[in-house]
Structure 1
Amino acid sequence: MRNIRNNELTDRRSAANDAKAALLQAYRAAKEAAEPTQLARQAERQAVAAAREERRIERERVKTEERDRAQAEAAEREAAIAAAATAEAEAREAADKNRISRVIEDEAARKAERDRRYANRKARQG
């Protein structure tokens, strides 16, 4: 009986080894058969990756241009604001000078009128 059991065990072992060998051989055959399609898929994936990279570079270029344009517009706005502030300050300064000159002229006219009245009064008295 012992020999029969061993024969069954060796039969099972050899069947398992044969099955493993058959699976390995089927895997190798499938791999060889799929190699052209695998190469095609790999080439397609590389093309898609290259296109994706080109789109990313284009997006970055557009973002950079947009950022530069926005900075240029901001600089123009700041320059316009600075020019307006300078013009306003100059206008205010001119108005102040004008007001001061009018006050000085008015004061000079009042003094001249006062001196004239004084001279007339002295002329009448003397």
Structure 2
Amino acid sequence: MKNARNKDLADRNTASADAKAALLAAYRTAKTAAEPDRLARQAERTANAAAREERRLERERVKLEERTRAETEAAERHAAAEAAATAEIEAREGAEKARISRVIEDEAERKAKRDQRYADRKARQA
């Protein structure tokens, strides 16, 4: 009886090894047959990755251009605002100087008239 059991075990081991060998052979055959498809898919993935990278670089370039343009416009607006502020300050200073010079001229004219009145009064008294 023992031998019968061992024979069954040996038969099962042999059958298992044959099945594994058949699966391995089928896998190798399928792998060889699918090789061109695998290469095509790999080439397609590589092309897709390159296209995706190109699109990413283009988006970054556009963002950089937009940022540069915005910074340039901001700098121009800032320069224009500074120029306007400088012009306004200069206009105020000019108006202030003109007002001061008019006040000084009016004061000098009033002093001249007062001195003239004083001189006329002294001339009448003499």
- The TM-score normalised by the length of structure 1 is 0.96
Partner residue in 2 for 1:5:
5
Partner residue in 2 for 1:97:
97
Partner residue in 2 for 1:44:
44
Separation in structure 2 between the aligned mates of residue 40 and residue 46 of structure 1, nearest angstrom? 10
Partner residue in 1 for 2:68:
68
Letter in 2 for 1:82: E
Separation in structure 1 between the aligned mates of residue 11 and residue 117 of structure 2, nearest angstrom? 148
Partner residue in 1 for 2:117:
117
- The TM-score normalised by the length of structure 2 is 0.96
Equivalent residues, number: 126
Separation in structure 2 between the aligned mates of residue 45 and residue 100 of structure 1, nearest angstrom? 81
Letter in 2 for 1:64: L
Partner residue in 2 for 1:27:
27
Question: What residue ranges of structure 2 are gaps of 5+ in the alignment?
Answer: none
Deviation at 1:14, TM superposition (A): 0.7
Deviation at 1:68, TM superposition (A): 1.1
Separation in structure 2 between the aligned mates of residue 36 and residue 100 of structure 1, nearest angstrom? 95
Partner residue in 1 for 2:85:
85
Separation in structure 2 between the aligned mates of residue 21 and residue 121 of structure 1, nearest angstrom? 143
Structure 1 runs of 4+ with >4 Å offset: none
Letter in 2 for 1:54: E
Question: What residue ranges of structure 1 are gaps of 5+ in the alignment?
Answer: none
